[in-house]
Amino acid sequence: MTANASREPSTAVLSDIAPDSGRKLTSTEKWRFGVGFVLFSLIWMVAGTSGSAVLLPQRFTELNIGVPEVILGTMNSVGCVFALFSNVIFGALSDITRSRFGKRTPWIVAGGLITAAGYVLAFSSAQLVGIVAGWCIVQVGVNMMIAPAVAVLSDRIPENVRGTFSAFYGGAQIVGSSAGTFLGSKFIENMGTGFAIGAALFAVTGIVTVLIWPRERSSAASVASVESSDATAKLDVKQLLRSFIPPTKNCRDFYLALMGRLLLILGWNMISGYQLYILQKYCGLSVKDSAATISTMSVISMVVLIVTSMVSGPLSDRLQRRKVIVAIGSVIIAIGVAIPCFMPNALGMMLFAGIGGAGYGIYIAVDQALNVDVLPSQEEAGKDLGILNLANTVGQVLAPVVVGAIVLATGSYAALFPIAVVAVLLGAVFIILIRRVK
């Protein structure tokens, strides 16, 4: 039997055994994992989105040190380089980490503290160099948390409930994004307090998560099994070098998932990441009216995301279907993104928040489970999921670059919407082409 066939959901019942312990999870353990995934995504996304989508763009406008869109694009472009390397590096390092606290826990905790430090530098700087430096540290810290945390889905969560836990992770992430936008809009005239809240949230993200999850097993024992320090050093160097090699075998579906996610995240963030500027410069709203509209959009998104993500994840587990649900979510996103193209006003953006948000809730609820299912190697889950998570980072970073180029070339935000629709639909095509997962 081929490797692909052995993992085909239609020919085998998904396992209910946790990979790390070799037994079923208890009800209490399931609840602890679920709450931990929810809070992890929720906390850091509230902090990150309040700054990147509202407070930092408004601060760039008030600083008068250049074109705000260009500053935002520069900040994200440079940060992308650090994010690209950080996600793979820390995913790989967590694969081979040996400590009494486990291989994922130390990185998750340290990442939150480093992210908070970078965020403080970014918002306290009045010059582009300081802003960019701070944001680069944020990218390092965030990816230091995310890569090991997502790998927990592969390490510790049984196959038959991964869709549900993916929904906890993904749904909370998008609710956190909406809540962060709402939070940022409330502090747009009192940015110091808003930034301070964000920094505090970043700092506690990893600590809260690992305290709620069932304690990770020690990974220090594997070091003791190596007889000599020379052998240990040799092993670690070889493993570390291998950690940076992308998958080359049984990886067709892996790269299709990567491209599908990249295009969808790009299209989504071209609109969602520029809500403030779109409302002010495309819809013609004042700062006060745009802040009020963003608040309303955030509430709409939050409601539909909670509903669609919490339904889609368990439904995926019950039907043993991943890619079909992800593709349906992508099409709904495209419909929502297209609406403001024909309704360039606050109502059009609210419909985008409702319809597009519903599609995004469906998509992200199942996306992580699909990514785990297409991994070429369980032993290198941290590294490979880190590579897949690059699609998130690159998509989020490319979006401001693409938007900035379009706005500078056309002098308008109108062209963003059809381009974003095409990107999202192309992403859906890549997902449909996956063979290993139904």
Distance CA 357, CA 359 (A): 5
Distance CA 397, CA 384 (A): 20
**Which is it for the CA torsion 282, 286, 291, 292, positive or negative?**
negative
In a domain, 178, yes or no: yes
User: What do you get for the CA distance between the two ends of the chain, in Å?
Assistant: 18
In a domain, 258, yes or no: yes
In a domain, 209, yes or no: yes
More confident residue, 36 or 253: 36
With CA atoms as reference, report the closest residue to 388 among 254, 267, 266, 264.
254
With CA atoms as reference, report the closest residue to 210 among 97, 113, 104.
104
User: CB–CB of 143/118 below 8 Å?
Assistant: no
Residue 360: how many CB atoms within 10 A of its CB? 33
Percent of the chain residues past pLDDT 90, beyond the cut? 26
Reported confidence tier of residue 175, pLDDT bands at 50, 70, 90: confident
Percent of the chain residues past pLDDT 70, beyond the cut? 89
pLDDT of amino acid 224: 45
In a domain, 203, yes or no: yes
pLDDT in tens, 290-306: 888 888 888 888 888 88
Give the range with max mean pLDDT: 8-22, 179-193, 216-230.
Answer: 179-193
pLDDT of amino acid 436: 74
In a domain, 31, yes or no: yes
In a domain, 186, yes or no: yes
Reported confidence tier of residue 113, pLDDT bands at 50, 70, 90: very high
With CA atoms as reference, report the closest residue to 12 among 22, 1, 23.
1
List the domain range (segments joined by +) for residue 26: 22-432
pLDDT in tens, 219-244: 775 444 444 444 444 445 665 566 56
- Amino acid symbol at 427: G
Q: What CATH number does the domain containing 168 carry? A: 1.20.1250.20
pLDDT of amino acid 378: 67
User: CB–CB of 168/150 below 8 Å?
Assistant: no
Reported confidence tier of residue 22, pLDDT bands at 50, 70, 90: confident
In a domain, 131, yes or no: yes
In a domain, 295, yes or no: yes
Reported confidence tier of residue 166, pLDDT bands at 50, 70, 90: confident
User: CB–CB of 151/383 below 8 Å?
Assistant: no
Total structural domains within the chain: 1
With CA atoms as reference, report the closest residue to 375 among 7, 107, 2.
7
Does residue 285 carry a pLDDT above 80? yes
pLDDT mean across residues, the chain: 82
Does residue 49 carry a pLDDT above 60? yes
